[in-house]
Amino acid sequence: MGRIAYVNGRFVPHAEAFVHIEDRGYQLADAVYEVWALFGGKLADAEGHFARLERSLAELQIDMPMSRAALTTVLREAVRRNRVQEGLVYLQISRGVAPRDHAFPHPPVRPAVVITVSRVDRVATEARAAKGVGVVTTPENRWGRCDIKTVGLLPNALAKQKARVAGAAEAWFVDELGFVTEGASSNAWIVDRDGVLRTRDTNANILRGVTRLSLLDVIRDAGLKVEERPFTPEEALEAKEAFITGAGTIVLPVVSVDGKPVGGGVVGPVASRLRRLYIERAKERAI
Ligand code: PDD
């Protein structure tokens, strides 16, 4: 018998087990998982894994897709159908399938549930344990490579949801030194008190926005002053204007930060002009 997977309520052959391309786990890493070891076909440390699963889900505000008892039954059935005694059970629960948007789908969608079971060769793993293994060291940089346009966007999705709940369109990340790095899905800019355009330098841990780069050219062509220098949220509040850039937002004026007005709370001339210039140039050069 081949391997059997569980996908959203159905047991299906492993080779035919698919999730939708707009599953938020696939698109945004907006999902959690657990892995249980199987000894003699039984779930090891069941309570600990269930407790962590429930905690992870609660942290992401994803509902348990079914009761713990029902989930236990499904996990056991997956094990039984795969006839595995010694192995691993993998469970993944994503926020569900919805058109791509960083913020949570509203109204919420059903969480997507996937379970797979794999066999472990205990003779081989015992032999390895008897010999011991080597390790290497690596800098602790998890979530520290924002320069890569990876789909590991869970922090961005959570930040965007925070913005949405606050009635805002974007969230600006602030680093440990108090400087804005970038938005959840855009780069951040101000026109400071001296009229100088400012955006964070790309030596920082940010995505090298393509719109940002093109806009720098537009700005230079327009003869405006620009500095790739970080700013704080306080400087943004004192700035003449603020805006964000990205393929999705183009150049989008920002009129408030944390509910406080920027530039008198109205769209300023520089951002509007840059939006127009950017669009003109982009249209000319689009292939
Ligand atoms: N986001 N920073 C982050 C974290 C982004 O996700 C994006 C783009 C940008 C701007 O990059 P660009 O100018 O190359 O689009 C900056 C896209 C639009 C998205 O996730 O939908």
End-of-domain residue from the set 75, 101, 120: 120
| Residue-number span of the structural domain to which 173 is assigned | 125-285
Q: Are residues 216 and 142 in the same domain?
A: yes
End-of-domain residue from the set 81, 96, 120: 120
What is the rounded distance in angstroms from the CA atom of residue 272 to the CA atom of residue 251?
Answer: 8
Asked whether 185 lines ligand 1 (CB < 6 A), one says yes
Asked whether 246 lines ligand 1 (CB < 6 A), one says yes
Say whether pLDDT at 1 is over 60.
no
Asked whether 247 lines ligand 1 (CB < 6 A), one says yes
Strands (DSSP E) contained in 175-225 are 180-183, 187-191, 197-199
pLDDT given at position 2: 65
Confirm whether 225 is a catalytic residue: no
Q: Are residues 106 and 163 in the same domain?
A: no
Q: At 134, is the secondary structure helix, strand, or coil?
A: coil
pLDDT given at position 129: 95
Most informative mutation of 187, 206, 278 for ligand 1 (most atoms within 8 A of CB): 187
CATH code of residue 190 = 3.20.10.10
Counts of helices then strands in the chain (DSSP H, E): 8, 15
pLDDT given at position 126: 96
pLDDT tens-digit readout, 153-205: 999 999 999 999 999 999 999 999 999 999 999 999 999 999 999 999 999 99
pTM higher than the cut 0.85: yes
Q: Are residues 116 and 48 in the same domain?
A: yes
Phi-psi region of 240 (alpha: psi -120 to 50; beta: other; left: phi over 0): alpha
pLDDT tens-digit readout, 82-115: 999 999 999 999 999 999 999 999 999 999 999 9
Q: Are residues 188 and 67 in the same domain?
A: no
Mean of the pLDDT values across residues 239-253?
Answer: 98
End-of-domain residue from the set 120, 148, 167: 120
What is the rounded distance in angstroms from the CA atom of residue 117 to the CA atom of residue 78?
Answer: 7
Say whether pLDDT at 51 is over 70.
yes
For 94, the enclosing helix (H) or strand (E) is: strand 87-94
pLDDT tens-digit readout, 206-230: 999 999 999 999 999 999 999 999 9
Which residues, other chains included, contact 65 with Cβ-Cβ below 8 Å and sequence gap of 6+? 71, 93, 110, 111, 113
Q: Are residues 105 and 167 in the same domain?
A: no
Q: Are residues 249 and 186 in the same domain?
A: yes
To which residue do tokens 């969480």 refer?
A: 111
> Residue 149 Cα, ligand 1 centroid: separation in angstroms?
8
Q: Are residues 167 and 91 in the same domain?
A: no
Q: Are residues 111 and 133 in the same domain?
A: no
Q: Are residues 71 and 103 in the same domain?
A: yes
Q: Are residues 46 and 144 in the same domain?
A: no
